Structure 1
Amino acid sequence: MPSDMRDPLALEEQVCFALAVASRSVVAAYRAVLEPLGLTHPQYLVMLALWQHGEVGIKRLSELLHLDPGTLSPLVKRMEQLGLLERVRPPHDQRSLRIRLTAAGVDLKREALGVPAAMLERFGMSVKDLQEANALLHGIIDAAQAAAER
């Protein structure tokens, strides 16, 4: 192999490795910011979805978060025990399960408004930098999901 050619099997050349480390690192950085809100990172993601979309069915919430319902169900149950949301069955369709925020869940949004700015500061990045990184990551997600569907 020529000396100017990178080793295609080198760990540091693998996008899967970089994404895995980045994911763990980002979640760890969020931990300190979310702890005063009483939220874990997965719970924060559920709250973000509900603050944005309002009451949703469990299937829709699963789609929004890219989590299978079996993973999401215990998370939602725990958050219900914390008083942040409630699971309801609409009277017209008892088989359906919907998730909605409680008053405490709605009120928590005010406290959470500081999370994005706190994360910008922790990462030492500009809004533009994070928007560009987010766009790139969403492109990778879309490409990976398309490849998985083939």
Structure 2
Amino acid sequence: MKIPLHHSVIFLATDAEELGLYGAKAFVDTPVVPLDKIRLNMNLDMLGIGDRRNRLYIGGDIDGVISEAIAAIETTASFQVVGRFPRQPRGFGSARRINYRNASDHGVFARHGIDFLFFTTGDHAYYHTEGDRFEQLNLALFGQATEAIWSLLKHIDGSNLRVQK
């Protein structure tokens, strides 16, 4: 039996994130619904390769409801859900530190007062290189991550989440 979600969900695929978050900016500049009706932005970014720890990182506005849901989706020893932004590895690509609160499309939504959750399996050796190809994907990790995010979305949807504005 399929149970529908209680809230509407917009699936938005953006482009040109690396060039200046142009896709996310275009959406908030001409939204399909008023921005004050958007309760939460769930940004899925770099879910396919991960690091040797097989972790799904969830950063952002994590309150008690979301922390409870995160605990509920930790399902196997080979896959760990971590309620924080990933730590940038030493010597990773640049001496510049990544500010994960603004480093992806969710930063655009946050600047418009929309709470967010940022999902990633972490940085990897192919990040922003020509080696970042389909063949590098860890399909098992990708599947586990997307199932965990779906589980979290259903939990949040059914929780009467009260987002502070």
Q: Which has the larger radius of gyration?
A: 1
TM-score (norm 2): 0.29
Structure with the largest fraction of strand: 2
